[in-house]
A and B are shown apart, each in its own frame.
Chain A
């Protein structure tokens, strides 16, 4: 879908995308990164399980929600990639909440 324009800086960092360690351009948003990686969707919707991808890239639409460092519902277009960041596609409402041991 998208590729990086030839002038782009070549400084890279490592992130873990859906469990796989990859080298990505430094300084770009997580949403830009996944598009550059050829990932066609970042989440499935809680209502109909449809696939959604970034739409506005400016923090307005909330279509770009992903699980970032374990936290669901993060706006991928408004967060920049960081060394070691763990990024996962979000399924519906996101991973189950931890239940405490109780008893």
Chain B
């Protein structure tokens, strides 16, 4: 099969890139070894968070937040996005100092979206919170969406513009003849002018094939979800100095996470829940919300995501091959960025440059480590 752009990985990054390219008239094929959204993009926590991002990501996350506010105009679905704010709670003065410093940093960069609030405002916002907290840092335009619904909306919109998705199609060999790419997959051969690596936790293997190895580590992040509960909290909750991350979805369930890592057999793609970590997480939740003690966990799972040592992604043209591009290594915070990443890649591919500053995400930052 022949196409302009061949994208490996039908997660959000792959789907968003395909959509943006198709909007500009490009012909795209997206292949995936599993099904769309099978990994990180379908199993993540759905957080739309600008709060507390690495400074390098701020221009991107702010633009992405704008895109999410208007997501329906992009993908014809609101992806169940809700903008209830994200909050980091301070439990004592040293937490408050830490959050103050963060807010000051943002102000010095000319951004206003992270805002300090005092005790009174905090309890007005979250009356259910245990009384011991003292304040917090909030980003009011943050929120959450439903990941698999978002992925589906991106895919369907891309399909309506002519993009073809091939599930159960694993890329195992890549060749470049002249400037064109030949891809051998479990479902036959593909060729294209442009190749895009959006292979999530597996992207390191493709980077290897392009002779630009990256220190990408696959990890399985755990989440647990409760039964449906009466509505009791609006913002997505985090804490200044503890592993807390949870949100109450529209349907009443709570999604609880916070960088909890499961055991992973990457070869077999098998994950194993680490109950001890989840037990600690349960304790933390109860510390902040004692009334949740008797709430039941219905499911826990782990989603496989690629992590880079500096915890910011690679979004860049290949440094070793012409007509190849990468977007991976989102280190557990790519969901929110996905609309803008697709646009950036489409610009890199079609215009040779992006309107947003993406130098920090260049894959060359790992090249110099080679001896």
Contacts and interface: CB of A to CB of B under 8 A. Distances in A.
Question: Are A and B genuine complex partners?
Answer: yes
B291 interface: yes
Contacts of A93: 227-230, 252
B129 interface: yes
A103 B132 CA distance: 9
A99 B127 CA distance: 6
B230 A96 contact: yes
B232 A97 contact: yes
Given A71-B294, A73-B296, A93-B252, A100 B131 contact: yes
Contact of B229 (A97, A98, A99, A100): A97
Task: Specify which of A72, A98, A101, A102 lies most central, judged by the most chain B CB atoms within 10 Å of its CB.
Answer: A102
B130 interface: yes
Interface residues of B, number: 20
B67 to A, nearest CB: 31
B123 interface: yes
A98 B128 CA distance: 7
Contacts of A98: 291
Nearest to A91: B230
Contacts of B252: 46, 93
B120 interface: yes
A18 B119 CA distance: 40
Given A46-B252, A71-B294, A97 B123 contact: no
B233 to A, nearest CB: 9
B360 interface: no
Contacts of A102: 123, 126-131
A95 interface: yes
A99 B232 contact: yes
A100 B130 contact: yes
A94 interface: yes
Interface of A: 46, 71-73, 93-103
Interface of B: 119-120, 123, 126-131, 227-230, 232, 252, 290-292, 294, 296
